[in-house]
A and B are shown apart, each in its own frame.
Chain A
């Protein structure tokens, strides 16, 4: 199986404004937002990049 690309959410507050847009759009329901902590489930995420487009400030990167 080809290895998955990596997904990075810049959630230390330098970019992320904790708006929840990515949480609501993720088709697999695998991003979690808790006040100022954002995490996602590596194993479920398919790297579909939808959240990358939905983030208004560009805090999510897939490489």
Chain B
């Protein structure tokens, strides 16, 4: 049996959220161990690889070779394929990059290692250690050997499939309507436009959308998310995606070189993310934006706060919930309002008919929007199709 270990901060999961938390905790002087159950950080990729860029500098991420292309904007396709373009003018810096996700994740782990974080691969948390009601580390298994890691602060950054939070006693369960099941092909020999990320709405992807994120000329990630509550049978995500591709010659002629899947939460913000000695972070804390399905940015933003607070708790010798609540407050200030607002918007959008989607996009085409937000969109739609906005009065 391997000897047990002790550390100040134990981070479970070396995705972007975990690496961020580990890095910022180590930077503030804590001893940090990050464990990852896979054999390779960042791989296999489970991501569309699109992200905004305005938040990167804030959390200390420098642009690197993980960037494939910088896009100029996004195009939203209504069911009858009217196109509404969102560009830097009204989205501010929200538009961004298509990235090489495995490179990105590795770079974040390198940044963490450079601050002194110890990293162990093929090391999975298999249970939580609790003493007098506080989390004091985790049971882990590395190369088939089980041992305990004792830590002053334990951070669960174990992604969508998170079990650590539930083991610790936080209800991270999600409702069927709060999850999208996703499938994506990377396709070559397609006619994509490297200037745009494209989104197709409506019954082509019930409760979700089809996305085209270009990685280079002729090469794109073509994926779909479908709300689980709108699924009745087996393999529906794949059927919807294959059908969509069959109907679009620019993609039907392409060839698949890669296939990834996964779950995306489209849930309201969790009520509690902290226990004595314990914090949950990123996808594991359901921090994905419920409207866009993007989770990299939110995980990293919360990760920095999480790591900083973990180090403070270590230095003060008090990792009680009361101290760690600073993380809970911190991420809520940054993210909660938007998460909640976008969850409400998602709840509405997932019920709309194709006809209504068409009207919304049609109304937007006729006006000049200064800034793109839910309020401005609804105002524009209200002027042309007042009957459509009736259901949305709560937002106006």
Q: Which residues of A contact B (CB under 8 A)?
A: 17-21, 23-25, 27, 29, 32-35, 50, 52-58, 60-61
B364 contacts chain A at the CB level, 8 A cutoff: no
**B183 on the interface (CB 8 Å rule)?**
yes
**Structural contact, A52 and B173, CB atoms closer than 8 A:** no
**Is B237 on the interface with A (CB-CB < 8 A)?**
yes
A56 engages B38 (CB within 8 Å): no
Beyond known contacts A55-B234, A56-B262: 12 more, CB 8 A cutoff: A17-B259, A19-B182, A20-B161, A20-B263, A21-B179, A24-B162, A50-B176, A53-B181, A56-B181, A56-B238, A57-B235, A57-B238
Interfacial chain B residues near A56, Cβ < 8 Å: 181-183, 235-238, 261-262
Residue among B46, B124, B179 making CB contact with A19, cutoff 8 Å = B46
B interface, CB within 8 angstroms of A: 37-39, 44, 46, 124, 159-163, 166, 173-174, 176, 179, 181-183, 228, 231-238, 259-263, 265
Please, which residues of chain A bring their CB within 8 A of the CB of B166? 29
A-B contacts, 9 listed (Cβ < 8 Å): A17-B260, A20-B46, A20-B263, A29-B166, A32-B163, A54-B231, A56-B235, A57-B261, A61-B234
- CA of A55 to CA of B164 in the docked complex: distance in angstroms? 21
Which residues of A have CB within 8 Å of B235? Answer: 55-58
* Shortest Cβ gap from A27 to chain B (Å): 6
Residues of B within 8 A of A27 (CB): 173
Most B CB within 10 A of own CB, among A20, A24, A32, A35: A24
Q: Indicate whether A53 sits within 8 Å of B238 (C-beta atoms), given known contacts A19-B262, A29-B166, A34-B124.
A: no
Q: Which residues of A contact B183 (CB under 8 A)?
A: 56-57
Given the known interface contacts A24-B162, A25-B176, the answer about A19 and B261 at a Cβ–Cβ threshold of 8 Å is yes
Question: Could you say which of B39, B163, B234, B263 contacts A21, with CB atoms under 8 Å apart?
Answer: B263
Contact A25 B238 (CB under 8 A): no
Query: Which listed residue, B38, B173, B181, touches A55 by the CB 8 Å rule?
Result: B181
Nearest neighbor of A62 in chain B, beta-carbon distance? B234
Does B263 contact A24, Cβ atoms closer than 8 Å? yes
> With a CB–CB cut-off of 8 A, which chain A residues contact B231?
53-54
Which B residue sits closest to A25, measured CB to CB?
B179
B259, A20: Cβ atoms closer than 8 Å: no
Residues of A within 8 A of B160 (CB): 20-21, 24
Q: Shortest Cβ distance from B173 into chain A, in angstroms?
A: 6
